[in-house]
Amino acid sequence: MSTTVGFIGIGNMASAIIRGLITSGLVNASDIVVSSRDHARREAFAAELGVRSLDSNVLVALESDILVLAVKPAQFETVCEEIGEEIEQSDPLVVSVAAGLTLRQLADMLPARTRIARAMPNVNSSLREGMTAVCVNEHATSTDEASVVAAFEAVGQVAVLDESLFSAFTAIAGSSPAFTFLFIDALSRGAVAAGMPKDVATAVAAQAVRGSASLLAGSDRHPWELIDSVCSPGGTTVAGLLELERHGFLSTVTQAVAATVARDAQLRDQG
């Protein structure tokens, strides 16, 4: 029996997930149903990918075995109230991709004993190079968890984490692309100061960072081992590393992670 996957909301993240599910062959396009307040965009999206467009959130909730809620956090309570009866009737696994809404908060908005998964993908999912954290509530089964993991592996890699670690994940996966973009821009500006055109410098720096990440990801070596492999005694790389450390590069990055974790916790408590 095929599994119907429903999406309420088809913004950038939902679109990336849907494309990944179809491209990977995990789900047939005809087994995906979507709803959105933007009727014209929904119809164009459905026509492009071959998914089914439904006229209401209620219909999507009724048809779905797995229901992905991909609306803004501020809209969650309204949407959950709208589809509550249908969730009780059809009993789907409900997957939230909203940042900041905990399993407990989601459970308070949904019918009792709803099977809930929380997934936190990052922006790189749009290229199927994402990193997603997943956790499930006490009503979800191991099969439910496996289904969510498989869905998000279609757009990158997945870590099943205790929800208490989601703030740390936000810092090193959700927010870190912005930190990395800043690092790439800083590298390129340094090259511009040495006479290189900015567009060339940015392309060179981006590829160097991408290749370095791939090298580390495909290796069982510690990052410091790879650092040492690049450094020659008295060479240029050591000079640059010492200058980074003179200005507190390592401690600044770890402090940025700590600040992100603290802010995430603050926003969660306010919610």
User: How far is Cα 82 from Cα 75, in angstroms, rounded to an integer?
Assistant: 11
Residues 52 and 109 in one domain: yes
Residue with tokens 């984490």: 161
Would you list which residues are annotated within the binding site?
Answer: 8-13, 36, 57, 70-73
Residues 147 and 228 in one domain: no
Express each pLDDT in 132-169 by its tens digit.
999 999 999 999 999 999 999 999 999 999 999 999 99
pLDDT at 271: 60
Domain boundary at 164, 192, 222, which?
Answer: 164
Q: Are 119 and 95 in contact (CB under 8 A)?
A: yes
Q: How confident is the model at residue 265 (pLDDT cuts 50, 70, 90)?
A: confident
Residue length, the chain? 271
Closest CA to 139 of 69, 91, 96, 99: 91
Would you list which residues are annotated within the binding site for NADP(+)?
Answer: 8-13, 36, 70-73
Computed over every residue of the chain, the mean pLDDT equals 95
Q: Which amino acid is at 233?
A: P
Question: What is the spatial order of strands in the sheet that 66-69 belongs to?
Answer: 52-53, 32-35, 5-8, 66-69, 93-96, 116-120, 130-136, 156-160
**What's the predicted TM-score (pTM) here?**
0.91
Q: How many domains does the chain have?
A: 2
Q: What is the CATH number of the domain that holds 100?
A: 3.40.50.720
Domain that holds residue 155: 5-164
26 has pLDDT over 50: yes
Per-residue tokens: 51 = 């998914």
Helices and strands in the chain: count of H runs, count of E runs: 12, 8
Residues 193 and 151 in one domain: no
Q: How much of the chain, in percent, has pLDDT values that exceed 90?
A: 93
Would you list which residues are annotated within the binding site for NADPH?
Answer: 57
Express each pLDDT in 136-146 by its tens digit.
999 999 999 99
pLDDT at 100: 83
